[in-house]
Structure 1
């Protein structure tokens, strides 16, 4: 089984106040649950139906680990602080060859 990735795409921008209340605690919770942030920020370019909103990719040892992290009560308690809709999904990594 390959690594698991939690892919997050915001649907709207958070307020600065909400982002401040969310970001540090969310990062700490995800890292404590085994996640490693590999990309985050605004898109360099969007295509097709892509939205010009913040996106994040977090790597875990497996898809099961990514799902457990998302469902963990410590992370779930932090999620509402951001106050925005997100498209969040878990995908499995592939071996390059």
Structure 2
């Protein structure tokens, strides 16, 4: 099942370390089948607050996403970002092909009974 890494970067900045990090990150993701789906787009906030920016990465599965995040190559460049940008990063599974939220609703409804 496809997995994703989502980073909420709360105070994105540009400096030499960040440019170096961005230059090198794809090479850390390639061995794990990772790719960018979003990288710092303008966000429209409809509920709550979202200061900063968003990055969304896609991996073939959760094991690949975890392996990428723990990889020596990524661990080597991660301090470049952490030193300059505060944020939250999460890894999560997507939904399987053919996912129907009504099935989930039925399961939840039965739990309420």
Give the shorter-chain TM-score range.
0.7 to 0.9
Counterpart in 1 of 2:58? 59
Q: TM-score, normalised by structure 1?
A: 0.84
**RMSD of aligned residue pairs (Cα, Å):** 1.7
Q: For CA contacts below 8 A with separation 6 or more, give which structure has more relative contact order.
A: 1
After TM superposition, the structure 1 = structure 2 runs for residues 1-97 of structure 1, keeping only pairs within 5 Å, are 2-82=1-81, 83-97=84-98
Q: Which has the higher helix share?
A: 2
Larger Rg: 2
Q: After TM superposition, give the deviation of residue 68 of structure 1 in Å.
A: 0.9
**Count of matched residue positions in the alignment of Structure 1 and Structure 2:** 96
Q: TM-score, normalised by structure 2?
A: 0.74
